[in-house]
Structure 1
Amino acid sequence: MLKFAVPGNMNTLATRFDLKWMSFTLRQPRLPAATAPRVQFSSLPPEPVIPSKKPFKVELVGGKRYSWCTCGHSRKQPFCDGAHKLKAPGLSPLRFVPEKDSSVWLCGCKYTNNPPHCDGTHKQDFIVSATLHEQTDS
């Protein structure tokens, strides 16, 4: 809500309006149904696919920026190659910078509760019984 003071002499403002503010609500005009853009809404967020049922052991360089794949479509697992833009819009990579050089296990199933690090979620039944995602050329 925007508020505007009525311009004028301050003494006049005090006696005529008792220092009240006038309020205005600005609204965007409605478009006719024929010209309104069509938007499809999904009530569920996109789900990642499972590229691996095991974590990836990687050597990280301290101070270097990494992008961990969250969608599972990347061909450079566990890192992002941009595949989410076409295959999983709505999912974005997790960007992180390690403080020091380290050897870590990064999640391969994409369902960790401690992203990007593996927390053992891949051992749960819903991952063990799931079908692995097969990469396609498209």
Structure 2
Amino acid sequence: MSHSPIHRAGHSPIEVELEEGKTYTWCACGRSNSQPFCDGSHQGTGIDPVVFVAERSGTVWLCMCKQTATPPLCDGSHNKKNNL
């Protein structure tokens, strides 16, 4: 199935505080109004959010350009020339 284009939600990662054992839903489509987390705006796009459980409490950097190879974590893809 083809899907809608992925939208860039930002040009740099966002720092978030996670709580160990808590389930989070990272927006993979870039359409959510509650970035970096999903608000259901992906409905009908063919793009699913990434659901994950925090392995430990602490600060992480979540991807906002939506081009990371390690979702939901930033891998520096926002710095690559072809992703600007």
* TM tier relative to shorter chain: over 0.9
Look up the match of 2:32. 74
Hey, what does 1:62 align to over in structure 2?
Answer: 20
The corresponding residue for 2:59 is 103
Equivalenced residue count is 84
Partner SS state of residue 43, structure 2: helix
Q: Secondary structure at the match of 1:122?
A: helix
| Structure 1 residue aligned with 2:82 | 126
Give distance in 1, aligned partners of 2:67 and 2:5.
10
Q: Percent identity?
A: 44
| TM-score where L is the length of structure 1 | 0.58
How far apart are 1:46 and its partner, in Å?
Answer: 3.3
Q: RCO higher in 1 or 2 (8 Å CA, sep ≥ 6)? A: 2
| Counterpart pick for 1:90 among 43, 46, 49 | 46
Aligned Cα root-mean-square deviation (Å): 1.3
Q: Counterpart of 2:72 in structure 1: which amino acid? A: P
The alpha-carbon deviation at position 99 of structure 1 amounts to 1.4
5+ unaligned residues in a row in structure 1: which ranges?
A: 1-41, 129-138
The structure where strand makes up a greater share of residues is 2
State the alpha-carbon separation in 2 of the partners of residues 51 and 98 from structure 1.
Answer: 22
| CA–CA distance in structure 1, aligned partners of residues 3 and 32 of structure 2 | 19
Point out the structure with max Rg over C-alpha.
1
Is the contact made by 1:50 and 1:109 (CA closer than 8 Å) also made in structure 2? yes
Q: Distance in 2 between matches of 1:110 and 1:63?
A: 24
Q: CA deviation at 1:47?
A: 2.8
Q: Distance in 2 between matches of 1:51 and 1:100?
A: 26
